[in-house]
């Protein structure tokens, strides 16, 4: 068991392939203990859509040494801690945040949850109903569901475009055996990162991990390359009796390892990240065409997306879409000024610092990189790369991303003149 030591994080690789990362934060009296797995909804076959999310739910229902949901929750809440989990497209995480003197108990609990789940049949049937209620709530929230509609436009009939929670049919189809098989193939030690951030002794964490985790297991599962639906601008609309119309405009962007990703992050900040972005100041403040307007970037192994979203009055859909596209086109036509570039650099760097104030955020920072990227960068190293971006870099990446292939629109609202909206999906 060797350790690679940096100023910010110590890294160990155990004989079975488990990676242990410890980020000491001696000024804290708490610790976040987290297990990150390099698997998620992207790794699902069509008949098992939603299984990653269902497994996440079921791991809280009981394990070999923590035999019930109550026993699991009371173990952490009984010491004032927080226990939670999340499933994404390419990543699943289970974490506990506790006072540092309870760190070993938290790790013992998480290890047993993921390695020895009971998956009791009656609990599985109950949890299927909970998951389907969650799916229904997402569909009932148009401001959220419109993003799923856009994902289906960008990656049709493939895992990146599927709803993480699955479908009623695929959720109902899962069995105890299918869940156990998913855990076996996705939760092996070579596909796992144990991340501990906070008031922790790195050597002690590594020693406990070596006792708790197996020396062998399944290799990391494969994933299929994304098939981006390039071609003519595409549109998906749902007519619903809503007060607002929800627009989601976007298309393919860059992978998480693309050399231009830092320039894209700044381009996105210029366009629509924050209340001083161009979209907010122009579309909301000056034109009054949207109450909520912003943009964001998603990145995956081999693709990504840049998305502009707005909530508008239904009768303002067409002028609002025009205004959004004007700002997109401006970003690809004219270099940002040095003043604006300096502003967004400070904004992005400041948000990076603020986002790393607690141990859970630090844990996510390092473990996500360890599983999903070839580099393990400190916050300072990322900020150096952001600082190195030029106005020409921002212009270049804007021209690279904002092409006719990018012009896809998802819409939920009380009306939808699809022909008129489709006709407006163009760049100058």
User: Tens of pLDDT along 230-246?
Assistant: 677 899 999 999 999 99
Q: Does residue 78 lie within any of the structural domains?
A: yes
Q: Is residue 226 part of a domain?
A: no
**Are residue 68 and residue 113 in the same domain, yes or no?**
yes
In a domain? residue 381: yes
Overall average pLDDT of the 95-124 stretch: 97
Q: What is the 3-state secondary structure (H, E, C) of the chain?
A: CEEEECCCCEEEECCCCCEEEEEECCCCCEEEEEEEECCCHHHCCHHHCCHHHHHHHHCCCCECCCCCHHHHHHHHHCCCCEEEEEECCCCEEEEEEEEHHHHHHHHHHHHHHHHCECCCHHHHHHHHHHHHHHHHHHHHCHHHHHHHHHHHHHCCCCHHHCCCCCCHHHHHHCCHHHHHHHHHHHCCHHHEEEEEEECCCHHHHHHHHHHHCCCCCCCCCCCCCCCCCCCCCEEEEEECCCCCEEEEEEEECCCCCCCCHHHHHHHHHHHHCCCCCHHHHHHHHHCCCCCEEEEEEEECCCCEEEEEEEEECHHHHHHHHHHHHHHHHHHHHCCCCHHHHHHHHHHHHHHHHHCCCCHHHHHHHHHHHHHHCCCCCCHHHHHHHHHCCCHHHHHHHHHHHCCHHHCEEEEEECCCCHHHHHHHCCCC
Q: Is the pLDDT of residue 2 over 90?
A: no
Q: Is 158 a domain residue?
A: yes
Number of folded domains that form the chain? 2
**Are both 205 and 56 inside the same structural domain?**
yes
Whether 56 is catalytic: yes
Q: What is the pLDDT of residue 32?
A: 98
Tell whether 97 is covered by a domain: yes
Domain shared by 137 and 262, yes or no: no
Task: Note whether residue 221 is domain-resident.
Answer: no
Same domain, 12 and 159: yes
Q: What is the pTM of this model?
A: 0.95
Q: Is the pLDDT of residue 359 over 70?
A: yes
Q: Which two tokens stand for residue 190?
A: 């070579």
Q: Are residues 238 and 141 in the same domain?
A: no
289 lies in the same domain as 150: no
CATH number of the structural domain spanning residue 382: 3.30.830.10
* Neighbour count for residue 147 (Cβ, 10 Å): 18
Residue percentage of the chain with pLDDT more than 90: 93
Least confident span in 32-46, 180-194, 197-211, 215-229? 215-229
- Work out the pLDDT band at 323, boundaries 50, 70, 90: very high
Q: How confident is the model at residue 215 (pLDDT cuts 50, 70, 90)?
A: confident
Check pLDDT > 80 for residue 17: yes
- Domain extent, residue 300, equals 234-424
| Residues 194, 247 within the same domain | no
Residue 210 has pLDDT above 90, yes or no: yes
Query: Domain ends where: 212, 243, 274?
Result: 212
Is residue 296 within 8 Å of residue 363, measured between CB atoms?
no
Specify whether 207 is located in the same domain as 240. Answer: no
Same domain, 288 and 362: yes
Taking the CB of residue 224, how many other CB atoms lie within 10 A of it? 12
Q: Which of 179, 212, 245 is the last residue of a domain?
A: 212
Average pLDDT over residues 59-68: 97
pLDDT in tens, 370-422: 999 999 999 999 999 999 999 999 999 999 999 999 999 999 999 999 999 99
pLDDT in tens, 132-143: 999 999 999 999
Same domain, 207 and 244: no
Q: Nearest CA to 35 among 132, 114, 140?
A: 114
- Is there a single domain that holds both residue 165 and residue 39? yes
Q: pLDDT at position 228, please? A: 78
Residue 161 has pLDDT above 60, yes or no: yes
Is 151 part of a structural domain of the chain?
A: yes
Mean pLDDT of all residues belonging to the chain: 95
Domain end, chosen from 156, 179, 212, is at 212
Residue 167 maps to a domain: yes
What pLDDT score was predicted for residue 249?
A: 98
User: In the prediction, which pLDDT does 216 show?
Assistant: 86
pLDDT of 6 > 80? The answer is no
Query: Which of 56, 127, 152, 370 is an active site residue?
Result: 56
Distance CA 269, CA 272 (A): 6
What pLDDT, on the 0 to 100 scale, is given for residue 8? 81
Q: Are residues 183 and 79 in the same domain?
A: yes
């Amino acid at each position: 068991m060797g350790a690679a030591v940096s100023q910010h994080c110590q890294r160990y690789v155990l004989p079975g392939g488990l990676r242990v990362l410890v980020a000491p934060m001696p000024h804290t009296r708490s610790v976040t203990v987290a297990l990150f797995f390099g698997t998620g909804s992207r790794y699902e076959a069509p008949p098992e859509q939603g299984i990653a999310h269902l497994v996440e739910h079921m791991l809280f229902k009981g394990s070999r040494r923590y035999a019930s949901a109550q026993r699991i929750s009371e173990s952490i809440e009984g010491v004032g801690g927080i226990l939670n989990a999340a499933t994404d497209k390419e990543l699943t995480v289970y974490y506990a945040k506790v006072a540092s003197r309870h760190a070993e108990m938290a790790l013992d609990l998480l290890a047993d949850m993921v390695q020895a789940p009971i998956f009791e049949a009656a609990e599985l049937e109950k949890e299927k109903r909970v998951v389907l209620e969650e799916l229904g709530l997402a569909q009932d929230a148009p401001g959220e569901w419109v993003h799923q509609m856009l994902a289906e436009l960008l990656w049709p009939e493939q895992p990146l475009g599927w709803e993480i929670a699955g479908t009623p049919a695929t959720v109902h189809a899962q069995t105890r055996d299918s869940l156990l098989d998913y855990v076996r193939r996705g939760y092996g030690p070579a596909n796992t990162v144990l991340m501990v951030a906070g008031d922790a002794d790195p050597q002690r964490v590594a020693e406990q991990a070596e006792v708790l985790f197996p020396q062998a297991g399944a290799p990391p599962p494969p994933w299929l390359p994304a098939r981006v639906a390039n071609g003519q601008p595409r549109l998906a609309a749902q007519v619903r009796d809503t007060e607002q119309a929800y627009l989601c405009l976007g298309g393919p962007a860059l992978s998480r390892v693309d050399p231009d990703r830092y320039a894209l992050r700044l381009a996105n900040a210029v366009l629509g990240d924050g209340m001083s972005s161009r979209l907010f100041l122009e579309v909301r403040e000056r034109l009054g065409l949207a109450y909520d307007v912003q943009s964001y970037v998603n990145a995956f192994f081999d693709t990504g997306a840049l998305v502009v979203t707005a909530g508008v009055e239904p009768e303002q859909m067409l002028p609002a879409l025009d205004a959004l596209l004007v700002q997109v086109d401006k970003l690809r036509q004219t270099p940002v000024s040095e003043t604006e570039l300096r502003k967004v650099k400070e904004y992005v760097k400041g948000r990076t610092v603020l986002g790393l104030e607690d141990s859970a955020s630090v844990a996510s920072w390092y473990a996500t990189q360890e599983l999903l990227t070839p580099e393990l960068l400190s916050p300072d190293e990322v900020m150096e790369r952001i600082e190195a971006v030029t106005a020409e870099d921002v212009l270049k990446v804007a021209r690279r991303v904002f092409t006719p292939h990018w012009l896809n629109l998802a819409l939920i609202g009380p009306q939808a003149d699809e022909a008129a909206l489709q006709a407006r999906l163009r760049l100058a």
